[in-house]
Amino acid sequence: MTSADLPMLWFSIQVAALATLIILPPGLALAWLLARRDWPGKSFVETLTALPLVLPPVATGLILLKLFGRRGPLGAWLAGHGIEIIFTWKAVVIALAVMSFPLLVKSLRTALAAVPVRLEQIAATLGGTPWQIFFKVTLPLARQGIASGILLAFAKALGEFGATMILAGYLPGETGTLSLEIYQAIQLGDDTRALHLIGAATLLAFLALWLSEHFSRSRPLT
């Protein structure tokens, strides 16, 4: 990998991190609801949330394209407000966020479910409000599991290809992520560059997964 690839690598890290930050609040809220509450339609929401994990990524990308295209329900509304999505960095972030969301919710749900309910009940008997209990008891006890989930979601976003290609396309310097650049290098027969980029992707993925495993193994529950 040459110095010319560094801006692309930095762009890939930035959009993956931004996508992860965007999905964190709704992911945390949904994970808590799934872990701690029973409500009508829960199974349906669980299944819908997990769909991007099992659907072909290009299928998810096509669905997003129909939604955010100029004639799509969301795309038309956004275009009317001067916001272009398709074939921009925003499309990259959306694709990464959607593909990473199920993994984030699954990880956060496991972390929140592992927090002993009795500790929350004790906090409630001492006068803690639901919000105080969540922020001062639940989150601190689940923080390492949450950190593990965030890193997994980031690693997933960093390696996403199919949905990104459909929704954002490949525009060098505009939407070219690490995964798309690897594909492009292979298409052009530049195996040397492809292998260098694969090495960079492997290193980043390894670091993210290693840290995620470290946090998940050392998660305090009491």
**Domain limits of the chain?**
3-217
Sign of the C-alpha dihedral computed for residues 87, 89, 92 and 97 taken in this order: negative
Question: Tell me, what's the pLDDT at 1?
Answer: 64
Q: Amino acid identity of 213?
A: E
pLDDT digits (tens), the chain, 222 positions: 677 789 999 999 999 999 999 999 999 999 999 998 888 999 999 999 999 999 999 999 999 999 999 889 998 999 888 899 999 999 999 999 999 999 999 999 999 999 998 998 899 898 888 889 999 999 999 999 999 999 999 999 999 999 999 999 999 888 999 999 999 999 999 999 999 999 999 999 999 999 988 887 765 544
pTM, to two decimals: 0.92
Closest CA to 177 of 7, 53, 58, 23: 7
CATH architecture of 3-217: Orthogonal Bundle (1.10)
Does residue 123 contact residue 136 with C-beta atoms inside 8 Å? yes
Long-range contacts of 197-200 (CB under 8 A, 24+ apart): 197/1, 197/5, 199/1, 200/1, 200/5, 200/9
b/e burial code for range 167-204 (CB count within 10 A of at least 16 → b): bbbbeeeebbbbbbbbbbbeeeeeeebbebbbebbeeb
